[in-house]
Amino acid sequence: MGLCSKVCSSFLGDVLVWITRIAGLSAVVACWGVAAEVLYYGHYLGYVLLAIAVVLTPLEVVFGINYCVQLCCSVDTACRRCWDCVLWLDDWKKATLYLVLAVPCFVQPGEVRLAVIVGIMLIFSSVLYLLKTFKTRADNERKTLAQTPSYDKFEEVHEEVDLDDDDDDDAGGVITNPGTISISMDNDIGDQQEILEV
């Protein structure tokens, strides 16, 4: 059951990520189209929608650029550190921003009906980004658990024992282990008597 839930949650999480990306890109395309339409008819809300489209476009194409940055820039470069700052604005932060940007779309719903559609799309994208936050947190927890070292009390001991009887130059039956005391097999019984006498 544990494996199935991990696979299913991972699969559903990946589906959620792609649905979120598609919904966000659709909202951007709709915002550009509605801004052009409203500007054509001379309504001031067209400028607001154009500004929203300009803000949303880089936020939505960042996942595509991320693949290129990961391939081209190494981890310790200044480029990668700047890109990490760009990636910081994701999930719940982006959801909050999308909710704020959806408000002007509902200012004059009677005059600019297409702006309401863009507003609804932005709210839908905001909800999806909020849900994506839970998936991202679960992935980060799994990654953290996978990277934590195990705290075994004892390390594995590998003994090297020469069991070959053909060697005549072995140390008289002495078995040695790195970091241990060597024991001689020849004087084993005599040593025990000496120990008992003391």
Q: What span, in angstroms and rounded, lies between the C-alpha atoms of 21 and 70?
A: 19
Q: Tokens 């003994």, residue?
A: 159
| Backbone CA torsion sign across 114, 115, 116, 118 | positive
Percentage of the chain surpassing pLDDT 90? 36
Q: Which of 59-73, 102-116, 141-155 has the highest mean pLDDT?
A: 102-116
**Tokens standing for residue 126:** 């905001």
pLDDT score at 39: 94
Q: What span, in angstroms and rounded, lies between the C-alpha atoms of 39 and 45?
A: 8
pLDDT score at 4: 45
Inform me whether the pLDDT recorded for 1 exceeds 50. no
pLDDT score at 193: 64
Query: 43 and 112 in contact (C-beta within 8 Å)?
Result: yes
pLDDT score at 8: 47
**Tokens standing for residue 122:** 């932005």
Inform me whether the pLDDT recorded for 198 exceeds 50. yes
Query: 115 and 34 in contact (C-beta within 8 Å)?
Result: yes
